[in-house]
Amino acid sequence: MKNGKIELVNGDITTMRVDAIINAANSSLLGGGGVDGAIHRAGGKAILDECIQIRNKQGGCKVGEAVITTAGSMPAKYVIHTVGPVWSQSKSGADQLLANAYRNSLKLAVENGVKTIAFPNISTGIYHFPKEEAAQIAISTVEDFLAQHGQVEKVIFVCFDEENHMIYRNLLSRRPFPIQ
Ligand code: AR6
């Protein structure tokens, strides 16, 4: 499905032919489960080697921030690793941190000349962020960014589970105008 510059795909982000895929990492940058595990497995050791170099320089990646590495043997050129918030009802500010993760990934993409980008549904797996709310934040943050940065040609939301795919399909099809 397509809505202006935004596309929706149901599948595995490691196979995407785009300039950069985004990883839902953790602050250690040393890999983990979920999409993080899949990306490190598919891309190979070169990704972890660069993550370790970044750790040595800046001590990991804070929640809402982003760093960039090679994509190793995947079709993409780069992996942008960002860290979403762990969902907790008692903590406020998770919405803002999730928006920061999308925004800072896009900023780093533009700084590196990236024109096509694929996002997973950050924080909606192991970090348990409610899926509908996360999708609303993801779409509105990307939409705002695209309105201000014409050089980004395409953003693909890659949903791995059917529930996220349905949520995104509904939200994107309800937009009155194409997302440019
Ligand atoms: N392609 C696209 N999406 C995927 C893939 C894939 N191959 N595999 C899983 N997903 P999660 P989080 C979806 O748990 O919630 C890791 O251990 C999945 O269906 O990967 O941000 C990190 O190291 C879900 O919708 O990330 C952190 O410790 C989405 O990716 C922690 O998990 C995000 O789920 C981050 O948790």
pTM equals 0.97
Ligand 1 contact via 35 beta carbon (within 6 Å): yes
Burial of 32 (0-12, 13-18, 19+ CB in 10 A): middle
Ligand 1 contact via 101 beta carbon (within 6 Å): no
Q: Which residues contact 96 (CB under 8 A, 6 or more apart)?
A: 64
Domain edges within the chain: 2-173
State which fold the 2-173 domain adopts. Leucine Aminopeptidase, subunit E; domain 1 (3.40.220)
Is 36 an annotated catalytic residue?
yes
pLDDT tens string 36-93: 999 999 999 999 999 999 999 999 999 999 999 999 999 999 999 999 999 987 677 9
2 pLDDT tier (thresholds 50, 70, 90): confident
